[in-house]
């Protein structure tokens, strides 16, 4: 019997995502000037206020207030009427030195023996139902909000948009787990005030259905475009009004959108957030590494769908173990346990090896902090960072290295494919 599966996304202007982006902007600035920085930075945003807290070990000094304000302005909170804007909000920093008790388990005489920054389990997932090996419902949810942000910045076709928004997509699957159609789409977007609420709601619904959704669909492969139809159930701003939003409408915290950040409820999640953590924290680096493994396994034809788990003990170099679930989609006679043994021989999962393989000691994290950490485009960009003393540095950095299919040939060779 056919079934429905739903995933959601939130925009860069959602208060929790504002907090994530500020935390990751701090990470990038620390790593730009000291690639060995150890950082765990949390952010809270609310009406007119930003609070920064966390632990840092670094050789560089930053103007954290300016970094927070620049991030908020880039997102689009630039007007006093939002009750939260980058130029006027208060910024309080309670960042302090990292505990030596934690650091002693990570830093070692040789980098190769670097211990895990914490205990825990991390998951990576991939499926062949989309070109980027992501679950379709989540991929569409992200695309809707990215397109909505583009429309907001263009300020032409839909001129009343404000930064805060959410989306949700429900897909109908067949018994053999193939997407059949889009059942429902939910979009809630913050907007300027209207003189008449009924006129406002009708206008927003019309613009979302007739402008936003066609723009999203036009950029998709034909096979996915075919899932859009006139029978989709739309819920557009279902509360009827969304003028008060962002950190004024809802306090935001770093690390509260971990399912949006990963696979939209497909696969599994170990529970650890990503943003605000340098790559010595395996919550982040090992989650990227397991995504890299899962994506390369699916692309190589080992299975149509793969879940990878890895676990660590704080201060211990080698992982506790690697677990693989192919959901019965492996086309050849090999158990998931046998696949896991093969994977452990192909991919070095020691923390330092992950950092080196995926180039994680670079300022690459601001781009991850909205619209998902997985399924994104691997590309090289040029970024410039400045310190309070006027010193600046320009770097070419490679983004989303864990999305590369650079191990497909190694996997095929190992599995005889």
Region 27-34: mean pLDDT is 97
Q: What is the mean pLDDT of residues 13-42?
A: 97
Whether the pLDDT of residue 62 is over 60: the answer is yes
> Which CATH number goes with the domain that contains 177?
3.30.300.10
Q: 133: annotated binding-site residue?
A: no
Same domain, 156 and 233: yes
Main-chain dihedrals φ then ψ at residue 71, nearest 5 degrees: -65, -45
Residue 273 marked ligand-binding: yes
Are 288 and 221 members of one domain? no
Model confidence over 32-55: pLDDT tens digits?
A: 999 999 999 999 999 999 999 999
Residues 161 and 208 in one domain: yes
Among 217, 244, 271, identify where a domain stops: 244
71 Cβ neighbours under 8 A, 6+ residues apart? 18, 21, 22, 25, 86, 366
Query: Cα(first)–Cα(last) distance of the chain, in Å?
Result: 33
Residues 6+ away with beta carbon under 8 Å from 222 = none
Report residue 102's pLDDT band, with 50, 70 and 90 as the boundaries: low
pLDDT range class, residue 120, cuts 50, 70, 90:
very high
Residue 89 lies in a domain: no
379 annotated ligand binder: no
Given this model, what pLDDT does residue 98 score? 73
Q: For the whole model, what pTM was predicted? A: 0.95
pLDDT of residue 246: 95
Task: Check residue 316 and give its pLDDT.
Answer: 87
Q: Is 66 flagged in the annotation as binding? A: no
Q: Which residue is listed with tokens 């005489």?
A: 109
Give the pLDDT of residue 196.
Answer: 86
Asked, for residue 194, whether it belongs to a domain, the answer is yes
β-bridge partners, 187: 167, 236
Indicate the pLDDT class of residue 119, thresholds 50, 70 and 90.
confident
Q: Is residue 367 part of a domain?
A: yes
Confidence of residue 148 (pLDDT cuts 50, 70, 90): very high
Tell me the residue range of the domain where 286 lies. Answer: 120-127+279-415
Assess if residue 61 is contained within a domain.
no
Q: What is the pLDDT of residues 216-262, one digit of tens each?
A: 999 999 999 999 999 999 999 999 899 999 999 999 999 999 999 99
Instruction: Determine if residue 74 is labeled as part of a ligand binding site.
Output: no
Q: Give residue-wise pLDDT tens across range 157-183.
A: 999 999 999 999 999 999 999 999 999
Annotated binding residue at 111?
A: no
**363 CB-near residues (< 8 Å, 6+ apart):** 27, 28, 29, 31, 32, 383, 385, 395, 397
16 is in an annotated binding site: yes
Q: Please indicate if the annotation marks 97 as binding a ligand.
A: no
Do 290 and 392 belong to one domain? yes
Which pLDDT score is estimated for 219?
A: 97
294, 170: one domain: no
On whether the CB atoms of residues 272 and 287 are closer than 8 A, the answer is yes
pLDDT tops 80 at residue 101: no
- What percent of the chain clears pLDDT 70, i.e. is strictly above it? 96
Residue that finishes a domain, picked among 244, 269, 288: 244
Flag whether 219 is marked binding: no
Residues 315 and 358 reside in one and the same domain: yes
Q: What percent of the chain has pLDDT over 90?
A: 90
pLDDT digits (tens, 9 = 90+) for 362-411: 999 999 999 999 999 999 999 999 999 889 999 999 999 999 999 999 99
Is residue 318 part of an annotated ligand binding site?
Answer: no
Number of domains in the chain: 2
Q: Are 205 and 154 found together in one domain?
A: yes
Q: Are 39 and 218 in contact (CB under 8 A)?
A: no
383 marked as binding residue: no
- 242 known ligand binder: yes
Clarify whether residues 411 and 352 are in a common domain.
yes
pLDDT, averaged across the chain: 95
Question: Do 283 and 351 share a structural domain?
Answer: yes
The answer to the question of whether 137 is labelled as a binding residue is: no
**Residue 264 within a domain:** no
* Residue 22, domain member (yes or no): no
Contacts of 35 (CB under 8 A, 6+ apart): 361, 362
- Residue 14, annotated as binding a ligand: yes
To the question of whether residue 42 is assigned a binding role by annotation, the answer is: yes
pLDDT of amino acid 104? 55
Instruction: Tell which of 194, 227, 244 closes a domain.
Output: 244
**Domain presence at residue 372:** yes
Find out whether 281 is annotated in a ligand binding site. Answer: yes
Question: Could you tell me if 409 and 335 lie in one domain?
Answer: yes
Whether residues 291 and 233 fall in one domain:
no
**pLDDT single digits (tens) 313-345:** 988 889 999 999 999 999 999 999 999 999 999
Residue 197: predicted pLDDT: 83
Q: What is d(CA 204, CA 202) in angstroms, rounded to the nearest whole number?
A: 6
Residue 285 has pLDDT above 70, yes or no: yes
pLDDT for the residue numbered 110: 65
391 & 302 share domain: yes
Residue 333 falls within a domain, yes or no?
A: yes
Q: Are 248 and 47 in contact (CB under 8 A)?
A: yes
| Burial of 364 from C-beta contacts in 10 A (0-12 / 13-18 / 19+) | buried
pLDDT recorded at residue 4: 98
How much is the pLDDT for 99? 65
Q: Residue 185: which region, alpha, beta or left (left: phi > 0; alpha: psi -120 to 50)?
A: beta
Output the pLDDT for position 105: 54
The arithmetic mean of pLDDT across residues 260-283, rounded, is: 96
pLDDT digits (tens, 9 = 90+) for 189-217: 999 998 888 889 999 999 999 999 999 99
- What tokens does 241 get? 């009004």
């Amino acid at each position: 019997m056919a079934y429905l599966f739903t995933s959601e996304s939130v925009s860069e202007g959602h208060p929790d995502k504002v907090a994530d982006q500020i935390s990751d902007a701090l990470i990038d600035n620390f790593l730009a000037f000291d690639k060995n920085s150890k950082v765990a930075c949390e952010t809270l945003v609310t009406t007119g206020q930003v609070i920064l807290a966390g632990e840092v070990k670094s050789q560089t000094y930053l103007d954290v207030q300016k970094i927070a304000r620049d991030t908020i302005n880039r997102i689009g909170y630039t007007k006093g009427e939002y009750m939260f804007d980058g130029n006027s909000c208060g910024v309080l920093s309670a960042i302090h030195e990292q505990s030596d008790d934690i650091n002693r388990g990570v830093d070692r005489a040789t980098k190769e023996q670097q211990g895990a920054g914490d205990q825990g389990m991390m998951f990576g997932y991939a499926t062949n139902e989309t070109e980027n090996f992501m679950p379709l419902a989540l991929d569409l949810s992200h695309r809707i909000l990215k397109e909505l942000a583009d429309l907001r910045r263009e300020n032409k076709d839909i001129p009343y948009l404000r930064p805060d928004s959410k989306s949700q997509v429900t897909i109908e699957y067949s018994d053999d787990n193939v997407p059949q159609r889009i059942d429902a789409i939910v979009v809630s977007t913050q907007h300027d005030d209207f003189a008449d609420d009924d006129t406002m709601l009708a206008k927003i619904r019309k613009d979302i259905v007739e402008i936003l959704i066609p723009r999203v669909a036009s950029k998709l492969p034909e096979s996915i475009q075919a899932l859009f139809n006139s029978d989709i159930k739309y819920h557009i701003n279902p509360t009827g009004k969304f003028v008060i939003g962002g950190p004024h409408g809802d306090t935001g915290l770093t690390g509260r959108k971990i399912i949006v950040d990963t696979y939209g409820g497909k696969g599994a999640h170990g529970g650890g957030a990503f943003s605000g953590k340098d790559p010595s924290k395996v919550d982040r680096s090992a989650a990227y590494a397991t995504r890299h493994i899962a994506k390369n396994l699916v692309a190589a034809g080992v299975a149509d769908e793969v879940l990878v788990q890895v676990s660590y003990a704080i201060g211990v170099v080698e992982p506790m173990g690697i677990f693989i679930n192919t959901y019965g989609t492996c086309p050849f006679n090999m158990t998931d346990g046998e696949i896991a043994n093969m994977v452990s021989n192909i991919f070095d999962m020691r923390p330092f090896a992950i950092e080196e393989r995926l180039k994680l000691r670079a300022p690459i994290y601001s781009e991850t902090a909205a619209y998902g950490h997985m399924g994104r485009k691997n590309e090289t960009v040029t970024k410039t960072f400045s310190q309070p003393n006027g010193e600046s540095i320009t770097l070419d950095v490679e983004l989303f290295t864990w999305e590369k299919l650079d191990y497909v040939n190694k996997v095929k060779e190992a599995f005889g494919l």
